[in-house]
Amino acid sequence: MRFNIFTSLQRAFRPRKQQSSLIVTEAEVSLLTDGKETWRFRWNQITRIETYKQDLFSVDLICLDFFVESLQLPYRINEEMQGFQELMKYMRQLFPSIDENWHRQVTFPAFAANHKVLYERQPANEHRDLRQ
């Protein structure tokens, strides 16, 4: 086998695909990247959940953004992360107001973003006029 410096440099500097997995419990969700905790949020902190598709040229990637109290940036999750099915199971239990067909609605039609707000917490001080 011949040593090729070009091939060796390509291997050395090739971006390594990180392994991301979700740890989902009835209290919280955390993301592990290469075995180290990247972030964590508690279900009861969620103020908004959005879903959409990313067009990756030949395939679509279903994504969820979780917004929590006092943080402007979302926690981003996608269907290729290990633990995504477990996350969906807990979402159904903890947020029964979310349409159970949301995944199908964001999946079709293909290659469209299909952005949708799945859940939004109403402010505690907001009250509705029940006479309407």
pTM of the predicted model, to two decimals? 0.78
Amino acid at 78: N
- 14 class by beta-carbon count within 10 Å (0-12 exposed, 13-18 middle, 19+ buried): exposed
Share of the chain above pLDDT 70, in %: 80
Q: What is the mean pLDDT of the chain?
A: 86
Inside any domain, residue 10:
no
- Number of Cβ atoms within 10 Å of the Cβ of 69: 11
In a domain, 14, yes or no: no
Average pLDDT over residues 77-103: 96
Q: Mean pLDDT check: name the lowest of 4-13, 98-107, 120-129.
A: 4-13
Number of domains in the chain: 1
**The pLDDT of residue 57:** 82
> What percentage of residues in the chain have a pLDDT greater than 90?
67
∠ CA 81-39-87, nearest 5°, is 40
Strands (E), 1-45: 20-24, 28-33, 36-42
Of the candidates 14, 23, 18, which has an alpha carbon nearest to the alpha carbon of residue 34? 18
Residue among 19, 14, 13, 71 nearest 42 (CA)? 71
Range list of H helices, the chain: 5-13, 84-94, 102-107
Residue 20 lies in a domain: no
Which pLDDT value is given to residue 129? 46
Is residue 3 situated within a structural domain? no
Per-residue pLDDT tens over the stretch 102-118: 999 999 988 889 999 99
Asked, for residue 4, whether it belongs to a domain, the answer is: no
The answer as to whether 39 is a domain residue is no
> Is the pLDDT confidence value at 19 over 70?
yes
| Domain that residue 71 falls in | 44-120
70 part of a folded domain: yes
Assigned domain for 58 exists: yes
